[in-house]
């Protein structure tokens, strides 16, 4: 589990096609304190550390992405030089500064526009139709691993405001129209929708007097 609070921006140092695709990611984390097998959210994708080390370029860790991960996330576009929002897994007792994030990306949202709004950046996205119904004003959403509050929703489009601190500490400040981000809907919204579907199903099958 994660919180959507990014703690480092990693850089893809290498990409290698094997049975799966191996990414080597440079980081400011102390990899001596990261166990092999640990989970790290990489721009919202929960990936398992398979190797780690330090060389002349600094600390790094390696992860493997399956074909399914490549097909459902922006990992298919990652190449040497790509910047990634990183977050280590939540520990019991840690402060929950964002919201509960699983690191299981639901799909990709398209950047419709990126416009200054005061000191903030107003980003508008378009979600896949199958996910749009889970996004509500004042609800939470995770975009490229960043926990954000939805300001407005219109059909499949929704907007968020990114404050200067978040622009500086994550990759969101560099987004342009036409780009794609990893989207994870709020787990609470998912379960509420399931409960509503179950209730509606019971009402349809209930015997009538």
In this predicted structure, what is the pLDDT of residue 17? 92
Who's near 149: CB < 8 A, 6+ residues apart? 138, 139, 140, 141, 160
Examine the domain organization and report whether 188 and 122 are in the same domain.
Answer: yes
Q: Give pLDDT < 70 ranges for the chain.
A: 92-97, 189-194, 196-198, 200-209
3: buried, middle or exposed (CB in 10 Å: 19+, 13-18, 0-12)? Answer: buried
pLDDT 10s digits, 152-173: 999 999 999 999 999 999 999 9
What is the spatial distance between Cα 88 and Cα 67, in angstroms, rounded to a whole number? Answer: 23
State which of 88, 117, 143 marks the end of a domain.
88
Together in a domain, 67 and 116? no
> Looking at the 3D structure of the chain, how many domains does it have?
2
Are 124 and 181 part of one and the same domain?
A: yes
What pLDDT, on a 0 to 100 scale, did the predictor assign at position 90? Answer: 82
pLDDT value at position 122? 97
List Cβ neighbours of 139 (8 Å cut-off, separation of 6 or more): 149, 150, 186, 189
Helix (H) or strand (E) holding 196: helix 187-205
Beta bridge partners of 120: 117
Give this prediction's pTM: 0.89
- Domain range enclosing 135: 107-194
Co-location of 84 and 145 in the same domain? no
Residue 66 lies in a domain: yes
Q: Which pLDDT does position 193 carry in this prediction?
A: 67
According to the model, what pLDDT value does residue 194 have?
A: 64
Label residue 9 exposed, middle or buried (CB < 10 Å: 0-12, 13-18, 19+): middle
34 found inside a domain: yes
Give the CATH number, domain containing residue 139.
2.40.30.20
**Do the domain assignments include residue 81?**
yes
Do 61 and 131 lie in a common domain? no
CA distance 152 to 159: 5
One domain for residues 84 and 113: no
């Amino acid at each position: 589990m994660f919180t959507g609070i990014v703690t480092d921006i990693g850089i893809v140092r290498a990409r290698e096609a094997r049975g799966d695709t191996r990414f080597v990611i440079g980081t400011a984390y102390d990899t001596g304190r990261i166990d092999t097998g640990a989970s790290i959210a990489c721009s919202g994708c929960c990936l398992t550390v398979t190797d780690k080390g330090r060389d002349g370029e600094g600390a790094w860790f390696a992860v493997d992405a399956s074909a399914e991960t490549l097909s459902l996330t922006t990992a298919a576009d990652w190449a040497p030089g790509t910047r990634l929002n990183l977050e280590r897994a939540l520990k019991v007792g840690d402060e929950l500064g964002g919201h509960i994030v699983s690191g299981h990306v639901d799909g990709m949202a398209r950047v419709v526009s990126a416009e200054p709004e005061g000191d903030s950046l107003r980003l508008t996205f378009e979600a896949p139709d199958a996910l749009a119904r889970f996004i509500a004003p004042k609800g939470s959403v995770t975009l490229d691993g960043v926990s954000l509050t939805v300001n407005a929703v219109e059909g499949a489009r929704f907007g968020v405001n990114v404050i200067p601190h978040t622009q500086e500490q994550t990759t969101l400040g560099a987004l342009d129209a036409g780009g794609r981000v990893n989207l994870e809907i709020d787990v609470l919204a998912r379960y509420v929708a399931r409960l509503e579907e179950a209730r509606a199903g019971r009402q349809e099958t209930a015997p009538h007097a």
